[in-house]
Structure 1
């Protein structure tokens, strides 16, 4: 930790304390990795224990570093490294983009990320036959925008041993033709089949993100993901799905001085028995890296149409029902076990029924053992009812959605589900019911851009310019604290999320003041510098 004293002056200083708008001191002093003083320049200068260095903000805005309560570092690095398929409009577009990468890199697997079948003209997932046009001799694997599954070519099906005789695992999906032959679309728990004999296996506890790769590649992807977070002004993350692969990568980054962000890790529930056998019955770590709790899955993905959201179709179009990862009793046992151990839970649940399963399990666990200090979460929380939102407040459960998904995918949900689709991630209902408003990215499902995400939480603007749910926007104060103070509180980090005296000196410098700028200016607000523990770790030239 640095002991250098630094004084900031010359621009708006937003502390994000109890009164976000009123607090704007002319100067701020950091020293010893914390905020030492705020006030006039003379006040803060007199508080310094050593001769301070001065930083002229030159009109830029200083505010707390952003806290992203749901992201995936290595998966995000993969999304940045692989072929970007997010703008593809047809399957032919996908094939052409992948062919270009194959020509540029003549060896090894050809991988892409970010396709969305609802945005393709064909309105379907690419098949193995489609991807065979890229290569019939090299593996071709493209990950869906949700991160929940892959479309693969025939080489991958053969190498993975996926045949007509392969059973579809619980909580998974293997698309087949009329004869039962797999067509190359593999989702959720079925992705275990793609990780190789020595790869990570998660069973019916979640989607398996991990294609075979070596330690050097894992470290490279970790660094790519981390740099993207820093470039977005994010100084603290919660990695919302950790297996032995991610844990080893974080420890390697820490031990080799490469870990710049603060990271809170949610270990996947498939490993809960191992955690108990090791005696890990609470948080473990320090102010930079900690094992925070357990990640669970109740159902699939809204974007991939595998979430268990029931019969909410529109306009005469059939609606896929999706599936559950666990039977209700099995999920309840996992949540109850984690709670009894003293571990926080973060459960992916999108549909009303799986959300109800999670709330019932947490309510029952609290009746047996109150443990009021444990902040349990529902990740995404796509379509809760109003009664369920009120219950979240009573039971002490925090939803952790990602508003940029409303922006990117809201139009297709409105088209397929009508008015019900406009309730996707009902932030306005959370705010009205006194439920904390948390704004996260789920990177790489959406790119980390906290102020832009806060803008979507306020406006509910979709790509087509419509408002997805007219009553579901939140106030500016809730949206901006949703990327700072509120997620810091969720992570049990009272030392983060604001710049009050004594807090950690995690800072972001912006070219726009998000507290006073016109709402329409927020999407283009740019980060110019990122600081962690009183040290500049990123500027617009890269890692400082």
Structure 2
């Protein structure tokens, strides 16, 4: 049995779900429940036994087995440790993948959305997208990033060369419906699991300290930098997942070093999430964008909302104020491409537009404004981050993202004007019609005031 979406920040006890909690209702079946952030989850005792996880099981490289005071596994597994259990779960079959894609495309259209980036896919997912496209049911534009290869550096270089033969969006985006865009890499974990790579200790419950825990890189940073170089040298666009300040600094420096060694303008390397960049990182992003068309943040504004209570507790009062520093981006001339990181947060873009302006957590466990408003932007800027700036990171800014002659007619019709309504109404906007490629793919019921 598998499920997901839990978040300790939404529970009264503000604690993880443990194996002992699930054991009470599992009826003897193995259970895996993924956390909403996707970087940790909980296995029940049956699943732990099947995976051979005991008090003597060491933490795998780049992962953590959560343990109680007696050293016994609690069932919570973080980062690479999740694989000890998830490797036992059967993958979705082709029919299930195709049905999921069709369903999600329709759900996107019902929210006035016509495009998305799917980072970290494998060949079977690509094939499922291609099948749905061939059937005429892919009513969103998909820009896919391939999963990185887990192998030797020689194998990675060979893999990069194979991908580069057909993954060059700066030369061609094909039919503009399903685009092989690049590769996704990870340098660190998450703010929820407190595994993202920081310079200082993580917080607990906002003002407490998780002493000695500054997160960690997913692998040896020098080795990962060499892998990044292999993809860059092959001419591939790379999206690097980086949450913590130290991870973001490492990422922009890796991009700078790669460009110094192999100068290639226009690859548009991105920093996925880019939660709490330092001033050093912000200055580097501005320079990289200006000189190389690289170093683009791809944040999820809804992190301050949907997972905002857990984040506020873990980042602490000072770091929380820097989370998603949109005003600082704007001041430096940095553009960014916003998304939801679905399933981490709900996918409707209206939530992200609202969160970019309001910066309010869902429940207010640590106050109504732990993120402040100094890094807020106005609704028009937020919309740009979900439209033309997002299109830029799909290599489609000349074809979608604005309403202009010669571009595809991908249009959204809302029940109100997002540029004039009060901030609190942004998240309540209702999609009345969605046009994709000149065809109406969604028409809602008229809303009577």
Offset of 1:508 from its aligned partner? 1.2
Q: How does 1:142-161 map to 2 (within 5 A)?
A: 142-161=33-52
Does the C-alpha gap of structure 1 residues 243 and 524 become closer, same or farther in structure 2, counting only changes over 3 Å?
A: same
Does the C-alpha gap of structure 1 residues 193 and 252 become closer, same or farther in structure 2, counting only changes over 3 Å?
A: farther
Normalised to the residue count of structure 2, the TM-score between the two structures is 0.87
Q: Is the 8 A contact 1:437 1:479 kept in 2?
A: no
Does the C-alpha gap of structure 1 residues 245 and 190 become closer, same or farther in structure 2, counting only changes over 3 Å?
A: farther
> Do structure 1's residue 276 and structure 2's residue 161 form an aligned pair?
yes
Offset of 1:339 from its aligned partner? 1.1
| CA distance in 2 between partners of 1:413 and 1:126 (Å) | 17
Offset of 1:165 from its aligned partner? 4.5
- Name the residue aligned to 1:538: 442
From 305, 321, 330, give the equivalent of 2:194.
305
Offset of 1:179 from its aligned partner? 5.4
| CA distance in 2 between partners of 1:119 and 1:437 (Å) | 29
SS of alignment partner, residue 270 of structure 1: coil
Offset of 1:178 from its aligned partner? 4.9
> Do structure 1's residue 227 and structure 2's residue 128 form an aligned pair?
no
Q: How does 1:376-395 map to 2 (within 5 A)?
A: 376-395=269-288
- Which structure has the larger Rg over C-alpha atoms? 1
- Name the residue aligned to 2:153: none
- Name the residue aligned to 1:446: 345
| CA distance in 2 between partners of 1:400 and 1:230 (Å) | 22
Q: How does 1:392-407 map to 2 (within 5 A)?
A: 392-396=285-289, 397-407=295-305
Larger RCO of the pair (alpha carbons < 8 Å, separation 6+): 1
| CA distance in 2 between partners of 1:505 and 1:353 (Å) | 41
> Do structure 1's residue 162 and structure 2's residue 47 form an aligned pair?
no
| CA distance in 2 between partners of 1:159 and 1:442 (Å) | 31
Does the C-alpha gap of structure 1 residues 139 and 356 become closer, same or farther in structure 2, counting only changes over 3 Å?
A: same
Q: Deviations over 1:510-531 (max 9, x none)?
A: 1011123333321211112212
SS of alignment partner, residue 294 of structure 1: strand
**Bigger Cα displacement from structure 2, 308-317 vs 492-501:** 308-317
| CA distance in 2 between partners of 1:278 and 1:413 (Å) | 36
- Name the residue aligned to 1:261: 140
| CA distance in 2 between partners of 1:381 and 1:186 (Å) | 24
- Name the residue aligned to 1:486: 389
- Name the residue aligned to 2:292: none
Offset of 1:124 from its aligned partner? 2.5
**Bigger Cα displacement from structure 2, 490-499 vs 121-130:** 121-130
- Name the residue aligned to 1:106: none
- Name the residue aligned to 2:11: 120
Task: Report how many residues are paired.
Answer: 420
SS of alignment partner, residue 390 of structure 1: helix
- Name the residue aligned to 1:5: none
Q: Is the 8 A contact 1:431 1:437 kept in 2?
A: no
| CA distance in 2 between partners of 1:220 and 1:278 (Å) | 27
**Bigger Cα displacement from structure 2, 302-311 vs 392-401:** 302-311
Q: How does 1:206-245 map to 2 (within 5 A)?
A: 212-245=91-124
- Name the residue aligned to 2:265: 372
Q: Deviations over 1:446-473 (max 9, x none)?
A: 1122133112212222333426133101
- Name the residue aligned to 1:352: 245
Q: Is the 8 A contact 1:312 1:420 kept in 2?
A: no
SS of alignment partner, residue 76 of structure 2: strand
Q: Deviations over 1:164-217 (max 9, x none)?
A: 4443222222223455443211222222223346x7xxxxxxxxxxx6333333
From 407, 410, 419, give the equivalent of 1:506.
410
Q: Is the 8 A contact 2:53 2:73 kept in 1?
A: yes
> Do structure 1's residue 247 and structure 2's residue 129 form an aligned pair?
no
Q: Deviations over 1:195-253 (max 9, x none)?
A: 346x7xxxxxxxxxxx6333333333333332222222110111122123422321232
Q: Is the 8 A contact 2:274 2:324 kept in 1?
A: yes
Offset of 1:329 from its aligned partner? 0.6
Instruction: Give unmatched runs, 5+ long, in structure 1.
Output: 1-108, 200-210
RMSD across aligned C-alpha pairs, in angstroms?
A: 2.2
- Name the residue aligned to 2:374: 471
